[in-house]
Amino acid sequence: MDTQRVKTCFTITFTDEQYNRAKGYVEDMKRHRNRIFWQGKEGKTDDELIIEQIAHRILSGFYNNEPYAAGKHIMRMDSSVNA
């Protein structure tokens, strides 16, 4: 199977509840440094890790209770095929 690479930038919104949940998740992951969560995350700040977790959950559908609910959080998307 051939794959292609595309670089995409999302502008998202999130609630205080989503931020606090992601913050708790990152704090929990700090107690488990051998988990796969940490692969590729060396040198990132707590805020970067928290925002990354929020974006992951939005784009993966964890916050979506209905079809197309991610559209409420995704405000903008820019893509480039020359990644």
The reply to whether the predicted model has a pTM over 0.85 is: no
Q: How many CA atoms lie within 13 A of 33 on its CB side?
A: 1
- Assigned domain for 47 exists: yes
- Assigned domain for 33 exists: yes
- pLDDT for residue 53: 92
Which helix (DSSP H) or strand (DSSP E) does residue 58 occupy? helix 46-60
- Assigned domain for 31 exists: yes
- pLDDT for residue 74: 67
- Assigned domain for 38 exists: yes
Question: How many residues comprise the chain?
Answer: 83
- Assigned domain for 58 exists: yes
Task: Provide the number of structural domains found in the chain.
Answer: 1
- pLDDT for residue 2: 83
- Assigned domain for 43 exists: yes
- Assigned domain for 2 exists: no
Nearest to 22 by CA among 43, 47, 40, 45: 47
- Assigned domain for 1 exists: no
Report CA Rg, the chain.
Answer: 14
Q: Which domain holds residue 69?
A: 7-80
Mean pLDDT, contiguous 10-residue spans, the chain (83 residues): 79 91 94 88 93 86 62 68 64
